[in-house]
Structure 1
Amino acid sequence: MQTATMRAVRLHAFGEPEQLVYEEVPRPEPGPGEVLVRVHAAGVNPPDWYARRGFENVPAALRPNWTPPLILGSDISGVVAALGPGVTEWRPGDEVFGLVNFPGRASGYAEYVVSPAAHLAPKPATLEHTQAAAVPMAALTAHQYVFTQLRGHIDSTVLVNGAAGGVGHFLTQLVRVAGAKQVIGVASGRHEEFLLGLGVDRFVDYTRTPAEETVRDVDLLIDTVGGPDAHRLLPTVRRGGRITPVFLGDYRPERAAELGISIEAIRQVRSSGSDLAELATLIDAGKVRVAIDSVFPLEDAAAAHTRAERGHLQGKIVLNVESHGRSGQ
């Protein structure tokens, strides 16, 4: 019996984007509790290019032990193609989206992917697949920060640093849903109109006027940038305020403590079909918008990674899988 195949993008060696190769590979089969999804679109996320580089930015003791060849990608939107044993909540033909098996290995840069049934949610009815694939990791990161770590209790002034990016543009909207009285967005000047359109009350162009020079008395700083200079934002936070980092950064904890500022632990996003279903409801109700920076065909995944590494994204990068013919059975 001939083995079913599909087209996918595989990483054959750690390194630059050109290590991503579009080729024919065996099609996976769903096991117990799993669903086979015919992928229409796949999102591109920072962990994808961290993995492509061999996780060189992760401390050696914490690096996943992954060995090429690998298929990257965990954000998908598509249609249920087959069910594994024991799956009753889905039917073939259902439109779904999800953050598949994260943290952990998934294989979203492909025509088909196997996902635990519980990691999927019905695709928002108001979104096309290319838009839905832009949602899972970034929006779940924002949602889990706001409604789990912060427990949805936000009745204050919130500063979102890196507000135009994938996670940032969802955060600016979800803190408003959670009750923030004022939302301040920090990004480069070209994002001003975009962020004001998302409902930001005040926009700060960091390339012209650094936030630490003009913003004061913030109750909550959510920093999606981090890095060695993250401590520069300490003056923006009031005594008794708090900083919630999304990425690692040097916030000078001793100095922060002297200023009465608490720094919360970084929270690792987790796959959750139930959280995604809540996000889908907000999206379909018009309370959360999805921004797309750019869309690339699946075979141009290397170009998508090159775009990602240039930075200054406005929303998410997506790979369009459905626009190409399916491989043979």
Structure 2
Amino acid sequence: MRRVRHEAGGGPGVLLLEEVPVPEPGPGELLVRAEAVGVTLPAVRKVREGTGPVPLGGEVAGVVAAVGEGVTGYAVGDRVTGLCFSHAYAELAVVQEKMASRIPDRATAVDAVALVRSGLVARGAHAAGRPRPGDAVLVTAAASAIGTLALQYAKAGGASRVVAAVSSADKAQFVRALGADEVVLYGDASWGDPVDVVLDGVGGELLGPAVRSLAPGGRLVAFSSGGGTVDAYELLVRGASVIGFQMAAVARDEPDVYARWLDELWELHREGTLRPRVCAEIPLAEAARAHEVIESRRNLGKVVLVP
């Protein structure tokens, strides 16, 4: 089968297509014949920053080709999506049963990789921020796969004002179509009137202006792998707080919550309340190009590899 391998050295130019044997699913694992693979920002950052080879993990959606020992919830032929932590950029990928979920008949594999992981993170970040109806909510990386769904969650949750923070003005029309009432640019001197909740998917240098945009008692939810430092004095003068959110912790420690959010996600998708956006479907052999789209911040929604 074909698989994309990362070689040491950093940068998208070291993603190489290779022929390898088909992997065997171990205990509690599914072998999935991939129809779509979602490219994630953490994977892109690992390639850019890593000094050695890194596994190219990501969301995988397709059909179960084989099951490992002890698997009871799925059978060969089932349509599933799930997060693969090892080699996701492949024609066949191994997914842990506990990280898999069924794809409804009405949805495509591309729908699934655009919706499930990004939607669960957006849902969890929204829950962590505890917005009340009438609150103002600001979303950074608002044109990203997670950001587009976070905007829609905020709107559906009754936010009085939804602010989209983006890297360039050419994304304004796109995020407004998803429900943003206002659009601000990262480099703006001010991000407008204060907000009650910030959902931050960027981190780094944006944490400063994000905290300064909070109203008294506001909450910033940090769910990015971008790191960064928060000025404690800025929190003190606002009586504000920063909350870290990690989807993996919910999947591991609160399976009932995870399952409920997943059911809710597909129902909102069926209703048309959540509309995932896919900006590019790129052949597996051109994985480096998919990374470059994200690196250059040109993506409007999800970038998907199609084996």
TM range (shorter): 0.7 to 0.9
Is 2:123 the counterpart of 1:138?
no
Secondary structure at the aligned position of 2:101 is classed as strand
Alignment coverage as a number of residue pairs: 296
Unaligned runs of 5+ in 1: 1-5, 57-66, 322-329
TM-aligned CA deviation for residue 155 of structure 1: 4.7
- Please give the residue correspondences for 1:1-329 in structure 2 after superposition, counting only pairs within 5 Å: 6-55=1-50, 68=53, 71-100=55-84, 105-147=85-127, 149-150=128-129, 155-187=134-166, 188-200=168-180, 202-206=181-185, 210=188, 213=190, 215-247=192-224, 248-264=227-243, 266-270=244-248, 272=251, 274=259, 275-321=261-307
Q: Aligned partners of 2:7, 2:210: CA distance in 1, in Å?
A: 40
Unaligned runs of 5+ in 2: 252-257
Higher relative contact order (CA 8 A, sep 6+): 1
TM-aligned CA deviation for residue 98 of structure 1: 1.6
Q: Aligned partners of 1:87, 1:153: CA distance in 2, in Å?
A: 41
Mean Cα displacement is larger for which, 186-195 or 286-295?
186-195
The CA RMSD over aligned residues, in Å, is 2.4
TM-aligned CA deviation for residue 226 of structure 1: 2.2
Secondary structure at the aligned position of 1:213 is classed as coil
Conserved in 2, the CA contact under 8 Å of 1:216 and 1:235?
no
Instruction: Determine what percentage of the aligned residue pairs are the same residue.
Output: 33
Q: Aligned partners of 1:84, 1:152: CA distance in 2, in Å?
A: 42
Conserved in 1, the CA contact under 8 Å of 2:10 and 2:50?
no
Question: Cα 1:151–1:219, aligned 2, differ >3 Å: closer, same or farther?
Answer: closer
Q: Which one has a larger percent helix, Structure 1 or Structure 2?
A: 2
**CA shift digits 1:243-296 (9 cap, x unpaired):** 1223323331222212222222x2223184724343222212211111112121
Taking structure 1 as the reference length, the TM-score comes to 0.81
Mean Cα displacement is larger for which, 16-25 or 255-264?
255-264
Taking structure 2 as the reference length, the TM-score comes to 0.87
Question: Cα 1:152–1:301, aligned 2, differ >3 Å: closer, same or farther?
Answer: same
Conserved in 1, the CA contact under 8 Å of 2:32 and 2:64?
yes
**CA shift digits 1:45-97 (9 cap, x unpaired):** 112122223546xxxxxxxxxx63x5512211101111212222112211111
Conserved in 2, the CA contact under 8 Å of 1:38 and 1:111?
yes
Q: Aligned partners of 2:126, 2:68: CA distance in 1, in Å?
A: 34
Q: Aligned partners of 1:277, 1:118: CA distance in 2, in Å?
A: 15
Question: Cα 1:9–1:268, aligned 2, differ >3 Å: closer, same or farther?
Answer: same
Q: Aligned partners of 1:238, 1:16: CA distance in 2, in Å?
A: 39
